[in-house]
Amino acid sequence: MIALPKRIFVTGIDTNIGKTVISAILCEALKADYWKPVQSGSVEGTDSDFVRRHCFENIVIHPSAYCFKEPVSPHLAAKKENTRIEPDKIKIPQTKNTLVIEGAGGIMVPLNDESVILDLIVDWETPAIVVSKNYLGSINHTILTCEMLNAAGVEILGIIFNGEPTPSSEEYILNYTNLPMLGRIEQTEKVERKFIQTQAEKLRKQLEMF
């Protein structure tokens, strides 16, 4: 099985790409802790709530450093609540367990007027998994995300593809980035506990192939 680090940052090539579902699947597969440092859009329920409902019973969910009501970019959500995100005040939770860290949106999502999500990944020296999903422009977005991470010196563990298979696009992405496909998460209309369990077992077997 691929030697995964104790901390894994899950990022995506866009918003609503499946990061939370895949973070939950990773937590289930690795029996890991979960942490969403910055959360916006809490009115309709947080990503932490989703992971808690869908993962194993005793999962440890570490509290977000910032949690905002509006489902908008974190820097704007903070301004709407008359505050400012201070990245240096966001401290990684202490745990002996594997920690899955989920980002907000993509790596260039702003935290404030100077800092973006990528800065957190770099400062924490945390290896990343990139979540990709097929849509018009996804090849470009996936490669750009990987190029930015590489340029910043971030170790990319690999790519997880979410949704319907698109072999030609995926082959191009993997060949261009020279990264492994860590797994594929199946398309589903409704995510339930059983789906997370099934996909976690499948992902665990895929990781064992490395």
The CA-to-CA distance between both ends of the chain, in Å, stands at 5
Active site residues: 36
Contacts of 177 (CB under 8 A, 6+ apart): 142, 143, 146, 156, 159
Task: Name the residue with tokens 């989920």.
Answer: 102
**What's the rounded Cα separation, in Å, for the pair 115 and 99?**
23
Cα angle 128, 132, 136; round to 5: 145
